[in-house]
Chains A and B, each alone.
Chain A
Amino acid sequence: MSEFYGTTLPNGLMLGTAQYPSPAILADAFKRSGAGVATVSLRRESGQDRAGQDFWQLIRQLGVHVLPNTAGCHSVKEAVTTAHMAREVFDTRWIKLEVIGEEDTLQPDVFGLVEAARILSEDGFQVFPYTTEDLVVADRLLHAGCEVLMPWGAPIGSGLGLNNVFGLRAMRAHFPDVPLVIDAGLGLPSHAAAAMEMGFDAVLLNTAVAKAGDPAAMAEAFASAIRAGQLAHAADPMGPRDMAAPSTPVIGKAFLQ
């Protein structure tokens, strides 16, 4: 099993906690999928309703690892400050580092990402950077102190799957010993299976489960697909070929013309 900063997870699923129809359905999705990581966020709290406190109790009861994000941050300073606040509230060194660079695609600002990753790594954070499949950026992130990389599959919330299979394959081949997580853009369990067949270590998703008609069932479907993909990768899949090759032996076939 892959390790993420020394932590082994029960399966290859990291699951977001946003957009579920209810807290009970969120909890059921985690239970049925066996996901070992929950991504969470920080937002403004009201002293009157204190909504965040109830949510925090729910997450604690799940008994999973918590991965706070810096979602919505557009600058290095904003992301670094948010990470410090998250470390205090969630009592973890893990941070899912997002520095958004473009609004339509929510594409990461990879320049700011590398800078923020360096600052946070030097300050003792264990950074999970939301990045692209760019190999040069990946190398910079590793040099900045990251020990896990999280390339996007497709834009956040799009459900498009693996947009750049060639780039993701190249990344897997280029960094064989680095834990790699496909983060964002997955819409179907088959997308997750494909990622795992390619040798990725985990997938991180939210919308595909939370916005399904039956989120808990979809979470379970993703977990099954991830398991299938892991098994397939370990089983060393055959390579594709352009022309047919009969699977039934030709030798010994009767001559009946």
Chain B
Amino acid sequence: MKLLLNGAPIDAQVATLADLLLAEGFGDAKVATAVNGEFVPAPARPDHALSPGDAVEVLAPMQGG
């Protein structure tokens, strides 16, 4: 299905948010996730089903002031 991952269009054959992270190479990376602007805690990712057109944000620690 077609999704937006961090603003970029992708085509992924996945069912859940946890599947997507694995498929896109995040593995055990320390990241936080949101779908369609709503925070999805890590424990909820395996049960969070994705739908075509969903906008997924995957954020990680970065420099900040």
By a beta-carbon cutoff of 8 Å, the part of chain A in contact with chain B is: 16-20, 26, 39-48, 50-53, 55-56, 59, 68-69, 71, 77, 81, 84-86, 88-90, 156-157, 184, 205-207
User: B residues within 8 A CB of A45?
Assistant: 6, 26, 29, 31, 58-60
By a beta-carbon cutoff of 8 Å, the part of chain B in contact with chain A is: 6-7, 21, 24-26, 29-34, 37-39, 41-42, 57-65
User: A residues within 8 A CB of B7?
Assistant: 44
Closest-by-CB residue of B relative to A44 is B6
- With contacts A52-B31, A206-B65 taken as known, whether A89 is within 8 angstroms of B60 at the C-beta atoms is yes
By secondary structure, the A interface counts as mixed
- Cβ B34 vs Cβ A47 within 8 A: no
User: B residues within 8 A CB of A20?
Assistant: 63
Mind listing 30 A-B residue pairs with CB under 8 Å? A16-B64, A17-B63, A17-B64, A18-B64, A19-B65, A41-B61, A41-B62, A41-B64, A41-B65, A43-B59, A43-B62, A45-B29, A45-B31, A45-B60, A46-B6, A47-B21, A47-B24, A50-B29, A51-B62, A52-B29, A55-B63, A68-B64, A69-B65, A71-B64, A71-B65, A81-B39, A85-B33, A86-B32, A156-B65, A205-B65
